[in-house]
Amino acid sequence: ALFRTNIHNRDHSTIVVATSPAKIQEAKLKIKQFRRQLAEFLENSESKNEIYHLSIGLFPIDKETTQGAG
């Protein structure tokens, strides 16, 4: 669906950031709050005739981790 959608009808972005592992739990909470606020904003529409997909991921990319793998 991504490549079939006109570039003017989508927003696709990525960031890479260095941070402390101590901030990850709070970052996850902020992501959850953002998703809920955005969903509420978008669902509060008179006309609901299109469906959109939002994907957000937060994971380390600098080293392999086996914690929680499975």
Residue extents of the structural domains in the chain: 19-57
Q: What is the pTM of this model?
A: 0.75
What average pLDDT does the structure give for the chain? Answer: 88
pLDDT (0 to 100) of residue 40: 97
Q: Which residues of 6-28 are buried (b: 16+ CB within 10 A; e: fewer)?
A: eeeeeeeeeeeeeeeeeeeeeee
Q: How far is CA 30 from the centre of its chain?
A: 11
- pLDDT tens string, the chain, 70 residues long: the values are 667 777 787 788 899 999 999 999 999 999 999 999 999 999 999 999 999 999 999 999 987 666 655 5
In Å, how far from its chain's centre is CA 10?
14
CA 33 vs CA 13, 26, 28, 49, 58: distances in Å: 19, 11, 9, 25, 14
